Amino acid sequence: MKAEASAEGAEVRAASFRIDGIDEEDDSIVWSGHLLFVFDARTNSLIHHFAAYNLASRQLSADALLYGLNKALEQIQTLRGEGETARVRTLEINGLGADKAAYQEACQRLSADGTLEVRWQGRSNEENLLGHVSAATSHTETLSVQTYYPSSLTFKNALVRVAREFEKSNSTSSEKKPCNWLSLNTLKASEKKDPKRFDRV
């Protein structure tokens, strides 16, 4: 994901990882998901978004990918500050392999003229930075990673905690230009509990 903040190369790069949760007893895949990393060379910032796959299809949708990209670009816009000159102009995406179809569709929609509206899971973004970006895919395959986390939720929560700890330690750094690692995911309870469990009968 090496990138340089120059006019010659892509200033923002995105890379993807397919995450498979493995059962410790029989090594079967019990859950799968897509981990997106977006790196902005200008602000030296790394942003990630994890989306669990549908259990039946175990495939990434273009809408889920574009949602993550759009949210990451919104974070980058905030880090860069306001103004037209701070907008992301070039975005290079690495992601083929098992998720090739989603990445190809996303890049076609990114390259289309006009403002792009991104919808995923019934949510939509009012301001879309993707309409200001030109995109190109590389021939890099999506990396597949296996883990023994029992569920996609526990994996996602662990990654959020790591990013938060990194930011905490980074805030005390004496470097002039510290780097950032931001999570677009939030911590969620590992199980749903009855809201009336403390009520007395």
The answer to whether residue 56 is domain-embedded is yes
Q: For residue 112, what pLDDT is reported? A: 66
* Residue 2 counted as domain residue: no
How far is 54 from 151, CA to CA, in rounded Å?
Answer: 13
Q: How confident is the model over 98-139, as pLDDT tens digits?
A: 777 888 788 777 766 555 555 555 555 544 555 556 555 455
**How many structural domains does the chain have?**
1
Those residues with Cβ within 8 angstroms of residue 159's Cβ, 6 or more apart along the chain or in another chain: 35, 48, 50, 183, 185
Report pLDDT for 130: 57
**Does residue 195 belong to any structural domain of this protein?**
no
pLDDT score, position 1: 46
Residues of the chain with pLDDT under 50: 1-3, 5-8, 126-127, 137
**Residue 3 within a domain:** no
Task: Please report whether residue 60 resides in a domain.
Answer: yes
> What pLDDT score was predicted for residue 7?
45
Decide if 20 contacts 30 (C-beta within 8 A): no
Supply the pLDDT for residue 56: 73
Strands (E), 67-164: 90-94, 119-120, 123-124, 134-137, 143-147
